Amino acid sequence: MRRPTRGEIRNARAASGFLLPFAALFLLCFVAPIAYALYTSLLKVERSGPLGLGGGAHEVFTGLDNYAQALQDPTFTAGFGRVLLFGLVQVPLMIVLATALALLLEAASARWVGFFRTAFFLPYGVPGVIASILWGFLYVPGISPFVEMAGSVGWDVDFLSRSSVLWAIANIVTWQYAGYNMLVLIAQLKSVPVELYEAARIDGANAWQVARHIKLPLIRPALVLTTVFSIIGTLQLFAEPLVLQPLTNSIDSGYTPNLNAYNEAFKSNNQNVAAAEAVLLALVACALSFGFLRVVGRRGKDGA
Amino acid sequence: MTLVSEDRDSGRAAARRSGATAVAKAGGPGRPPLRHRIITRSLLAVAAVYFLVPVYWLVVSATKNTEGLFGTFGFWFADPRPLEYLGDLLAYEDGIYVRWFANSLLYAGAGAVASTLLSAAAGYALAKFPFPGRETVFNVFLAGVLIPGTALALPLYLLFSEIGLANTYWAVLVPSVVSPFGVYLCRIYAAAAVPDSLLEAARIDGAGEARIFFRLVLRLMTPALVTVFLFQFVHIWNNFFLPLVMLSDSDLYPLQLGLTTWTGYADRQPVLYQYTVGGAFLSVLPLMVLMGVLQRYWRTGLTEGSVK
């Protein structure tokens, strides 16, 4: 075996010096919590003494019991179903809106483009919680000018009813992120050589055909990226329902899986089941993201 | 990532493009007809109304008190007294709002600076120092991007309470400093923008590795660092789940967390409606400014640094 040269040793030492601070914190804040969640999710608190009240509590290994309990909890699974339904509707809608806005901005003449782009991007600067508070006021009867305007023409509208509140949340999320996704797509559009458009136009393609057959296929990577991030975001849905909760009784403690895990940990004080729910959530998020990437990747190869 | 690499010469591209379109318009077959331009413009205007109306409502409502919020039409002013009402807000409970604001600035500012430095160092090491297992390390970091932050926060809280860090400033600061996305960005950028020959020359001149990094590499990586800083600032400023889980002492709350406790109590204490609206208004301002900078920066700044 060759002995490392002095330069290589120096290299390795410098590299580890630069890498270690980040790596140590990554271990603490990413790897350790995952390991800890996995570990806690396999334990159960067992109380000794009469009626399980007195005496000490100690943790015992229980295998996958917590996972079984989480999956048999109808509120938790209903929450999962709810965010999946939400994702199936909201993510495509938002991506379509972002794509349409990006293409329209590309097609529009230059003078107003800056204003529109800033206007669309602005909501991204509003934190999720503030956006939810804001829209909450725009939904709640008494304050909302929308409800007032609808009422004055005899339309009794309730944005926060059991059947509509999910879509009220979808609107908040779309409002916040459509502009951001649009900007990502615009960035990708800018990388398309101008000559390509010009050539197509000279060949007689109209604006719609250029958009459909040239621009859309070329911004595919950005579309995939924004979709994956949106899927991850959807599964984490938490702040919006939490903020709207005081305004309506259509949102229960397990409205989304995240809300359920949070309440399990802090209201019911059941850390072990909460850990199992957090693990399940992370697993589903990874599975969906990778699944989507694989499906798109395969189709991309066939198509191109 | 796409933003950084591809939007960098959009300014020039746009200039080139308008030139090219002008040529096409003069000689080519297709100048978009007036009808198209009107449709495009109207659709864009409708979208702008959708995105701006809530912001407009917030501006109008920040000039009202609770009575005005409930009693007057939301989209128009009624007896506006913005300074008086915002003054009430700032004075409420010995200025707890100001304290929350300062906390948010501390978390986002200090967190983003530390995060940028750590990402720069790690990205530089991954880009410029070949060592066995480098790709594995990078991929492990990258996998961190895909893990939902809220799935981490809960176990992180359990872990931090075991080591006694929960409910302290550190509980929010430490996890905010780790940005796998920042490392990804910095690695790509360092690989492209830091020439090996320059590093070699500095080493031959006898400069130490730390000196090379702080004096030379950081300067070359500035555009990427600004992007990482801004992204991380926004990310920490917007992060809600982590402080919610970690903090129980309201003196440590960031803005968002404080405001949600107000909305929770507002039906019992109606003046809090006014304070929530005013507080939301003030809290949105700095990020709006930052968004403007961010957008402009994406259009111009990244060009200058990247290609030399």
pLDDT of residue A113: 83
Q: Which pLDDT score, from 0 to 100, does residue B247 have?
A: 95
Q: Give the distance from residue B166's alpha carbon to the nearest chain A alpha carbon, in angstroms.
A: 13
Quote the pLDDT of residue B295: 66
Q: What pLDDT sits at residue B4?
A: 40
Collect the ranges in chain A with pLDDT lower than 50: 303-304
Chain Cα centroid distance, residue B78: 34
**Model pLDDT, residue B12:** 43
Cα–Cα dist A299/A302, whole Å: 5
Q: For residue A77, give how far its alpha carbon lies from the nearest alpha carbon of chain B (Å).
A: 16
A151 contact B CB<8A: no
Pairing relation of β-strands A43-47 and A57-61? antiparallel
Nearest to A144 by CA among A131, A125, A157: A157
A94 touches chain B (CB under 8 A): no
Q: Out of B74, B122, B148, name the one closest to residue A235 (CB).
A: B148
Name the residue facing B144 among A30, A32, A128 (closest C-beta).
A30
ipTM attached to this prediction: 0.84
pLDDT of residue B26: 41
Which of the residues in chain B have pLDDT under 70?
Answer: 1-32, 294-308
The per-residue b/e assignment along A80-107, b for 16 or more CB within 10 angstroms, e otherwise, is bebbbebbeebbeebbebbbbbbbbbbb
Partner residue facing B158 (CB), from A25, A128, A271: A271
Cα–Cα distance measured from residue B147 to residue B225, given in angstroms and rounded to the nearest whole number: 23
**Closest-CA distance of chain B to residue A303, Å:** 22
**Domains, in order of start, for chain B:** 96-265 (1.10.3720.10)
- Residue A61's DSSP bridge partners are A43
Residue A303: its pLDDT value, please?
42
Structure tokens given for B252: 């440590």
pTM of the model: 0.82
Residues B298, A190 contacting (CB under 8 angstroms): no
- Residue B308 to residue B302: CA distance in whole angstroms: 11
pLDDT for position A141 = 87
**Tokens in use for B287?**
């990020």
Of all residues in chain A, what percent are helix, strand and coil, respectively (each to 5)?
75, 5, 20
Angle at A252 between CA A251 and CA A254, to 5 degrees: 120
Domain A73-303's class?
mainly alpha
Say what the pLDDT of residue A22 is: 96
